[in-house]
Amino acid sequence: MDFITIKENLYNHEYKKPEEFASDARLIFTNFYKCNSDHETILMAKKLQGYFEMKYANMPDESPDGNVNANPENTEDSTESESYDLSSDSSSDSGSEVSEEERLKRSKVPQEQLEKVTEQIKCIN
């Protein structure tokens, strides 16, 4: 498993659940630790994995019906952070389906974040 494969899986919508993506990402880190012995690169990889785990833990939960629910810690009056809030605007369309445009917008964010992580990994090597 590598980041290119994960990227392809994201673009091809092969991940049905976030856990599948996270499992593949963790496999990359595990393999990296097994195949590399340089102390500095291991420390950088652990830092990157910690960042990944933090972002993954703060990711909004998705219910079985496809609606995205923000984590309880997130409040409406919280300021915008670097993470993307996937929760729908609850003011007017609370019961309607998400538009195709919104769906595409949402799918681009993880892909962009993955590209950034891939670039960071390239800098490590």
* Most confidently predicted of 38-42, 58-62, 74-78: 38-42
* pLDDT over 70 (residue 95): no
CB 15 within 8 A of CB 9: yes
Structural domain contains residue 29: yes
What's the mean pLDDT in 74-101?
A: 44
Say how far apart CA 96 and CA 102 lie, in whole Å: 12
Structural domain contains residue 67: no
pTM, two decimals, is 0.51
Structural domain contains residue 85: no
User: Looking at residue 74, what is its pLDDT?
Assistant: 41
Task: Assign residue 54 the CATH number of its domain.
Answer: 1.20.920.10
Structural domain contains residue 52: yes
Give the model confidence (pLDDT) of 17-54 as tens digits.
999 999 999 999 999 999 988 888 999 999 999 999 99
DSSP per residue over the chain, as a string? --HHHHHHHHHTT--SSHHHHHHHHHHHHHHHHHH---HHHHHHHHHHHHHHHHHHHTSPEE-TTS-EE--TT--TTSPP-SS------TTT-SSSPPPHHHHHHHHHHHHHHHHHHHHHHHHH-
User: Looking at residue 85, what is its pLDDT?
Assistant: 38
* pLDDT over 50 (residue 4): yes
Say how far apart CA 13 and CA 107 lie, in whole Å: 9
Say how far apart CA 67 and CA 86 lie, in whole Å: 10
Domain that holds residue 45: 1-60
Structural domain contains residue 3: yes
Structural domain contains residue 92: no
Structural domain contains residue 81: no
